[in-house]
């Protein structure tokens, strides 16, 4: 069954832009408290989106009032040590950290306890000015159990994490941004944070899928490895991307050219452009194209970018070769 057909009780699933999956936690009466069935649905939807070739990035959000107010206190209150230990309570929460596609948290309102931990498990956090973060578990006589002490300490350092964990004090979006826990606080306005996150996800989805996956893997390695091991890992992954030209051909193989207005047609027929939702898509930065039929070489004069010397379309032996930035998309067939 495709992700579009599945019915969920605690989440909503949509595709607000090309290449973007949006998961909205939908348990409003309980402020999106993360009960076990909700997390099961969330994991299932994330795994499906991760496997979906049309999706390049995912946005995870809640409501305006609450991203998520934590683990479900009502579900937890009667559990015994034997229950939680035997059933490995919350162990499945971090399954989402094994995904290969980026997940952006768009946080409005309360992100407390498990809600804060859920945001921290995402790859990027955008916050509304209304966002309220916190690890209040100490007030319930426990400590964070969904990764809070570990991920928060890595994100904002020991002293702040210790203070927040031991006092249970909430902290604002502005504090979270100044400590580097969130990428940025967006403008005020209902829905603004989701809008921004979807737009960011759209940009990510328009990039080469393998490069995005590799970038995520390399950044994540920074949290697990020593600097020396991390640099070596980064280099290995970087080198590995030099082997992906064939994959690019497959991914971008349906570019076609027709007559005079061919530049626009190239863009329209280019899958990358569709994903980006921009009519000029992957070559949107190209200002002019100068054809030289004698040489069958079409040089693309970009706006000033770091890559402009490399960008060109070349026709050789009845094949169109698009060279964009550091990437070559060789042998794409075309019709004139």
The candidate with the shortest Cα–Cα distance to 274, out of 251, 257, 290, 258, is: 251
Q: Which of 41, 117, 196, 234 is catalytic?
A: 117
Sole window of 53-61, 78-86, 139-147, 258-266 interacting with ligand CAA (rule: CB under 6 A): 139-147
Residue 103 sits at the vertex; the CA angle it makes with 97 and 107, to the nearest 5 degrees, is 110
Residue 78 φ/ψ, nearest 5 degrees = -100, 5
Nearer CB in complex with ligand CAA: 28/318: 28
* 72 sits near ligand CAA (criterion: CB under 6 A): yes
d(CA 117, CA 173): 15
Hey, how many other C-beta atoms are within 10 angstroms of the C-beta on 166? 11
117 is catalytic: yes
Q: Which sign does the torsion angle of CA 79, 80, 82, 88 carry?
A: positive
Sole window of 26-34, 232-240, 245-253, 257-265 interacting with ligand CAA (rule: CB under 6 A): 26-34
CA distances from 224 to 216, 220, 228 (A): 13, 7, 12
d(CA 174, CA 172): 5
Nearer CB in complex with ligand CAA: 19/109: 109
228 is catalytic: no
Sole window of 109-117, 152-160, 232-240, 317-325 interacting with ligand CAA (rule: CB under 6 A): 109-117
Nearer CB in complex with ligand CAA: 99/132: 132
* 114 sits near ligand CAA (criterion: CB under 6 A): yes
d(CA 43, CA 4): 15
From 13, 22, 23, 30, residue interacting with ligand CAA (rule: CB under 6 A) = 30
- Active-site positions read 71, 114, 117, 137
Provide the binding-site residues for ligand CAA, judged by CB under 6 A.
30-31, 33, 69-74, 90, 110, 112-114, 117, 136-137, 140, 144-146, 148
């Amino acid at each position: 069954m495709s992700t579009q057909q599945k019915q969920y009780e605690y989440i909503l699933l949509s595709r607000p832009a090309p290449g973007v999956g949006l998961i909205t936690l939908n348990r409003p009466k309980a402020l999106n408290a993360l009960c076990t069935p909700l997390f099961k649905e969330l994991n299932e939807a994330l795994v499906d989106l991760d496997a979906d070739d049309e999706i390049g990035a995912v946005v995870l959000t809640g409501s305006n009032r609450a991203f998520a107010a934590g683990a479900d206190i009502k579900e937890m209150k009667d559990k015994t040590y034997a229950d939680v230990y035997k059933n490995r309570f919350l162990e499945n929460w971090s399954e989402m950290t094994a995904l290969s596609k980026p997940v952006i948290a768009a946080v409005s309102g309360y992100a407390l306890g498990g809600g804060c931990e859920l945001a921290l498990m995402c790859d990027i956090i955008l916050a509304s000015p209304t966002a309220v973060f916190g690890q209040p578990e100490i007030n319930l006589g426990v400590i964070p159990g969904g990764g809070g002490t570990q991920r928060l300490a890595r994100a904002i350092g020991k002293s702040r994490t210790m203070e927040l964990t031991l006092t249970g004090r909430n902290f604002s979006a502005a504090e979270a941004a100044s400590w580097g826990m969130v990428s940025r606080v967006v403008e005020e306005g209902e829905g603004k944070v989701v809008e921004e996150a979807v737009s960011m996800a759209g940009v990510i989805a328009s990039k080469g899928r393998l490069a995005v996956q590799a970038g995520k893997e390399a950044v994540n390695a920074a949290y697990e490895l020593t600097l020396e091991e991390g640099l070596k890992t980064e280099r290995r992954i970087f080198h590995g991307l030099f082997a992906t030209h064939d994959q690019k051909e497959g991914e971008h193989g349906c570019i076609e050219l027709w007559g005079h207005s061919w530049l626009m047609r190239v863009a329209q027929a280019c899958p990358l452009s569709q994903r980006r939702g921009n009519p000029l898509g992957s070559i949107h930065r190209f200002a002019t194209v100068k054809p030289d039929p004698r040489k069958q070489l079409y040089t693309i004069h970009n706006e000033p970018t770091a890559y402009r010397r490399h960008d060109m379309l070349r026709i050789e032996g009845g094949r169109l070769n698009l060279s964009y930035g550091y990437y070559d998309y060789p042998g794409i067939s075309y019709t004139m």
